[in-house]
Structure 1
Amino acid sequence: MSFQAYLDTIEKKTGKSPDDFYRMAEEKGLMDGPLLKPAVKADQIVSWLKAEFGLGHGHSMAIYALLSGKKKPGD
Structure 2
Amino acid sequence: MTDDNRVLAPAPPADGSKPKGPASYFPSIEKTYGKPIQEWLDLTADRLASGEPHMQVVTWLKTEHGLGHGHANAIVAYVKAKLAAS
Letter in 2 for 1:16: K
Distance 1:54 1:38, change over 3 A: closer
Q: Which residue of 2 aligns with 1:49?
A: 61
Higher relative contact order (CA 8 A, sep 6+): 1
The CA RMSD measured in Å over matched residues stands at: 2.5
SS of aligned partner of 2:41: helix
Q: Which residue of 2 aligns with 1:15?
A: 34
Q: Distance in 1 between matches of 2:42 and 2:69?
A: 21
Greater strand content: 1
SS of aligned partner of 1:48: helix
Q: CA deviation at 1:55?
A: 1.7
Greater helix content: 2
Which of 68, 71, 74 is the aligned partner of 1:59?
71
State which structure, 1 or 2, has the greater radius of gyration over its C-alpha atoms.
Answer: 2
Q: CA deviation at 1:17?
A: 2.2
SS of aligned partner of 2:52: coil
Letter in 1 for 2:33: T
Unpaired stretches in structure 2, ≥5 consecutive residues? 1-18
Counting matched residue pairs gives 63
Query: What CA deviation, in whole Å up to 9, does each residue of 1:23-59 have, x standing for no partner?
Result: 3346xx42xxxxx327321111111111133222211
